[in-house]
Amino acid sequence: MTAHILTPEELALLTLVQDELVPAYGDLPGAGTLGGALTVDAYLAERPWLRRPVLTALRAVEAAAGETPFAELDSGGRVGILRRVEGEDPEAFTELVKQTYNAYYTRPDVQASLGIDGPPQPLGFELPAFDESRLARVQAMGKLWRDA
């Protein structure tokens, strides 16, 4: 079991942030409610160079929220805060978004919602064979290369 990098407070904040970045859709709850914060926490443990931008972005969200905690804002207020942080520190915020997407789209249930039955192997996909008759026009073009 890998030790947490994020504190319980940071995990809670990240969960709320992720629910705004990738909101609920159909039967699927938002990326935070799906457990994305813990997945990102694991990424930070595995890849230390991600800690600085992700933590920077989280602290900026906290600071931008000011006296009203982020958790007490409605969705519109939270999105406003996130837009502000994105504008002020796009590099850190982009990393936060990227890691949230990483956590969300690697989930089998999310992939299933997109019609994906499983990982690429071992089954792969059956695709139609090439039909040479499609080349008739090109074959009639004649030599297109220069000899030398």
Partner 1 sequence: MAAPELDSDVLIVGSGASGAAAAWSLSRRGLRVTCLEQGRWVEPSDYAHSRPDYELARQTSFAKDPNVRGWAEDYPINNSGTPIYPLMVNAVGGSTVHWSGHFPRMRPSDFRVRTLDGVADDWPFTYWDLEPYYDLNDSMVGVSGLAGDPGNPPRSPRQTPPLAFDAGCEAYLRGLEKLGWHWWPCDNALISEPFGENRSPCNCCGPCDIGCPIGAMSSAHVTYWPKALSQGVQLITHARVEQITVDRAGRATGALYYDDQGVRRSQTAGVVVMAANGVGTPRLLLNSTSARFPNGLANDSGIVGAYLMFHPVAFVSGVFEEVVNGQRGPIGGLMNCQEFYETDLARGFVRGFELQLSRSVGPLSVANGGILGHPVPWGSEHHEALRSRYAHTMTTSVMLEDLPEPENRVTLDPGLTDAHGIPAPRVEYRVGENTQRMLEFSIARARELFEAAGAVEILVDPLVQESGWHLMGTCRMGDDPERSVINGWGQAHECPNLFVIDGSTFTTSAAVNPTSTIQAVALRCADWLGKNYRAVAA
Chain-centre distance for alpha carbon 114 = 15
Residue entry with tokens 């039955």: 117
137 lines the binding site for partner 1 (CB under 8 A): yes
Residue entry with tokens 């969960």: 15
Least distance in Å: CB of 65 to partner 1?
A: 17
From candidates 1, 91, 122, 133, binder to partner 1 by CB under 8 A = 122
128 lines the binding site for partner 1 (CB under 8 A): yes
91 lines the binding site for partner 1 (CB under 8 A): no
From candidates 5, 14, 16, 22, binder to partner 1 by CB under 8 A = 22
Residues 43 and 99 sit within 8 Å (Cβ to Cβ): yes
Q: Closer to partner 1 by CB, 8 or 124: give it.
A: 124
77 lines the binding site for partner 1 (CB under 8 A): no
Contact positions toward partner 1, by CB under 8 A? 20-23, 25, 47, 79, 82, 94, 97-98, 100-102, 104-108, 110-111, 114-116, 118-132, 134-135, 137-139, 141-148
